[in-house]
Amino acid sequence: MKLPRTTLILILLALGLGGFVYFHEIRGATVREEIKEQKQKIFSFAEDDVQALTVKTNKLTLNLERNPESSNPKWLIKSPISGPANDAIVSYLMDLLVKGNSDRTLSTPPKELKEFALDQPQATINITLKNRQSHQLILGKSNFNGRFLYAQTDPGTKPDGNINVLLVSTDFANAVNRELSEWKQPVDNSQKLPGLSTPLPIPTNSK
């Protein structure tokens, strides 16, 4: 049966509109969400790109380097002592740096850094990549409800003279505010001292 010309045009218009809705609304929303997530990421490098870390807090300045032998442990402490690092502790920090997102970004004049405690930060993390590029994360105080930390990445002023202040997870404070003993590889207790031999039963005189 041959469809009337008007009906055929309406069908083609419906198909075209459906395709537009899919690509603009559904597919377009996915792309926009991917762009939004990319903008919220703190850094864009991967874990394997990182060669060295320097963590500076009020108590400690710690220098870490990736183990060149790619063996256990993956990270070595270079100063203030030399020795193997606690891979679990370093991996926790690395995961935050690589996967961490910023909840939102505030644009503020440099003179207001002290309002966020970024002029005298609680911690500064310097990251050196294998390609010799470097990045920095500065951690300030908690925001008003204690859910986030004020932070600054790769400090520098924008063309308008302001700086970007990020809101990041408070997990960063937990990751860096540690004693030196926590950064060191834990003692391996798998090789335990041999136990005492079981004493033989004392023979009894038989009647």
Please write the tens of the pLDDT for every residue from 30-70.
Answer: 433 333 444 588 999 999 999 999 999 999 999 999 998 86
Across the range 133-141, mean pLDDT stands at 96
Lowest mean pLDDT among 27-31, 32-36, 168-172: 32-36
With 0.75 as the threshold, say if the pTM is over it. Answer: no
pLDDT score recorded for residue 159? 77
pLDDT score recorded for residue 187? 78
Across the range 121-146, mean pLDDT stands at 95
pLDDT score recorded for residue 156? 77
pLDDT above 80: residue 154: yes
Give CA–CA dist 143/32, Å, rounded. 28
pLDDT above 50: residue 155: yes
Q: Is there a contact between 150 and 143 (Cβ–Cβ < 8 Å)? A: yes
For 87-107, the pLDDT digits (tens) are 999 999 999 999 999 988 999
Q: Is there a contact between 55 and 62 (Cβ–Cβ < 8 Å)? A: yes
Across the range 169-176, mean pLDDT stands at 96
pLDDT above 70: residue 21: no
**% of the chain at pLDDT higher than 90:** 57
pLDDT score recorded for residue 24? 44
Contacts of 83 (CB under 8 A, 6+ apart): 76, 77, 184, 185
- Give the pLDDT band of residue 193 (cuts 50, 70, 90): very low
pLDDT score recorded for residue 76? 95
pLDDT score recorded for residue 40? 81
CA-to-CA dists, residue 192 to 86, 186, 187, 196, 197, angstroms: 21, 15, 12, 12, 15
Across the range 14-41, mean pLDDT stands at 49
